[in-house]
Amino acid sequence: MPAAVKLRTDYSASDLRRRAAASKHANQSRRLLSLAAVLDGMDREQAARIGGMDRQTLRDWVHRFNELGPDGLRDIRSKGNPPRLSKAQWGELAEIVETGPERAIHGVVRWRRIDLKKVIFERFGVDYHERTVGKILKTIGFSHISPRPRHPAQDPKILDAFKKTLPRP
């Protein structure tokens, strides 16, 4: 049977318990209590059960503790996928949305997400889902509500003449 991984000794079991009590991270507290039990001389399998893990997982946390100390026992959250458009491209997209489509070129009077999806793919070579385009627009600062577009050939005089006006009693 291989020898157990040595645990660093610059922290005592009482130090680890004190840190576990003060920690705001439940998982870090569990791990610190398991390591404190190991320092007290408890069997590693029993110490792992205190933290709700198996012996191999405890061994992995011992390696992290030896490397990074008590702060290394916190959960490391994933940063997620990096954005596929750069900040400059986001700025360019915001400008495209702000200026609006040209009817002769784009064939639409106002932008829809599906239209912007096509523009993003043609301009930047990135293929997004329509829903993702909506999320990007929200991140940039645009609202999903837009005013009803006006036809470019609309004449305000004809519109006023068309309005039904009832005489006042």
DSSP letter string, the chain: -PPPPPPP-SS-HHHHHHHHHH-S-HHHHHHHHHHHHHHTT--HHHHHHHTTS-HHHHHHHHHHHHHH-GGGGS------PPPSS-HHHHHHHHHHHHH---HHHHS-SS--HHHHHHHHHHHH-----HHHHHHHHHHHT--S--PPPPPTT--HHHHHHHS--PPP-
Q: What is the pLDDT of residues 36-83, one digit of tens each?
A: 999 999 999 999 999 999 999 999 999 999 999 999 999 988 888 888
Q: What is the mean pLDDT of the chain?
A: 89
Task: Answer whether 0.85 is exceeded by the pTM.
Answer: no
Q: What is the pLDDT of residues 135-156, one digit of tens each?
A: 999 998 887 766 666 776 788 8
Instruction: Answer whether residue 22 shows pLDDT above 70.
Output: yes
Instruction: Answer whether residue 158 shows pLDDT above 90.
Output: no
